[in-house]
Amino acid sequence: AQSVTQPDIHITVSEGASLELRCNYSYGATPYLFWYVQSPGQGLQLLLKYFSGDTLVQGIKGFEAEFKRSQSSFNLRKPSVHWSDAAEYFCAVGARSGGSNYKLTFGKGTLLTVNP
Amino acid sequence: NAGVTQTPKFQVLKTGQSMTLQCAQDMNHNSMYWYRQDPGMGLRLIYYSASEGTTDKGEVPNGYNVSRLNKREFSLRLESAAPSQTSVYFCASSLEAWNYGYTFGSGTRLTVV
């Protein structure tokens, strides 16, 4: 079964600083990988996804992520963080779990605090 | 462009009471999902419906039932609420089960006392 690990529960960065959120996955085949963002009191919004092809994917709000098969990682990056980026970020892996069942498994999330 | 609509947004139940959480999507999506979110646990899949007329258990189905009423609507029922079911519940939908491009509702915050 697939699994997702987000090693950092809480990260604090200063506005304008660069950001990298870590994500490691476990899955036997090529995974489908996602990053979602959740603002307080809101549902989850898709930032970006990787299905195949170019291992560096661009998303909304200036985010990008790089798939590294050798490290089983899919880290999220942003060159310059804005105060509005403060939120909780979830990495997820999508995989077939038998027959026609497709399952999206989420990590436990990383809470991002942005200092002015 | 409402997307995924969940009702109610907040609910307080007494132990043993029952209730149904409603979810409707207007994007003509085939697949729908119910997740619960607890602090430090991420999102865990309760039930899903890959297409109209089918439902399947997810990771944490105990204490819940679902109904895919039609293509638009997917409800979650708690027959006898327990304090352990205090959580934030999210409904999501996707065009197809394998597509994974989930659209989430804004959630229902449920407290069982």
Distance from CA of B81 to the nearest CA of A (A): 23
Q: Is A9 on the interface with B (CB under 8 A)?
A: yes
- Chain B residues in contact with A104 by the CB 8 A cut-off are 33, 45, 100, 102
Token pair 């109209």 is at which residue? B52
Q: Lowest-pLDDT range, A71-75, A86-90, B36-40, B74-78?
A: B36-40
Q: What is the DSSP letter of A84?
A: G
Q: What is the pLDDT of residues A2-41, one digit of tens each?
A: 889 999 999 999 999 999 999 999 987 778 899 999 998 8
pLDDT at B11 (0 to 100): 96
Q: Do B104 and A101 touch (CB under 8 A)?
A: no
Mutate to test the interface with A, among B5, B30, B33, B43 (most CBs of A within 10 A): B43
- Percent of chain B, pLDDT > 70? 96
Q: Do B106 and A41 touch (CB under 8 A)?
A: yes
- Percent of chain A, pLDDT > 70? 96
- Percent of chain A, pLDDT > 90? 72
Query: If 0-12 CB within 10 Å is exposed, 13-18 middle and 19+ buried, where does residue A11 land?
Result: middle
**Per-residue pLDDT band at A96 (split at 50, 70, 90):** confident
The number of helix segments (H) and strand segments (E) in chain B equals 0, 11
Cis peptide before A7 (omega within 30 of 0): no
Q: Is A96 on the interface with B (CB under 8 A)?
A: yes
Q: What is the pLDDT of residues B15-45, one digit of tens each?
A: 999 999 999 999 999 999 999 999 888 899 9
Closest to A25 in 3D by CA, of A103, A85, A84: A103
**Per-residue pLDDT band at A71 (split at 50, 70, 90):** very high
SS3 call for B34? strand
Are B95 and B31 a contacting pair, CB within 8 Å?
Answer: yes
Q: E strands of chain A, at which residues? A: 3-5, 10-14, 19-21, 24-26, 32-38, 44-50, 56-58, 64-68, 73-78, 87-96, 102-106, 110-115
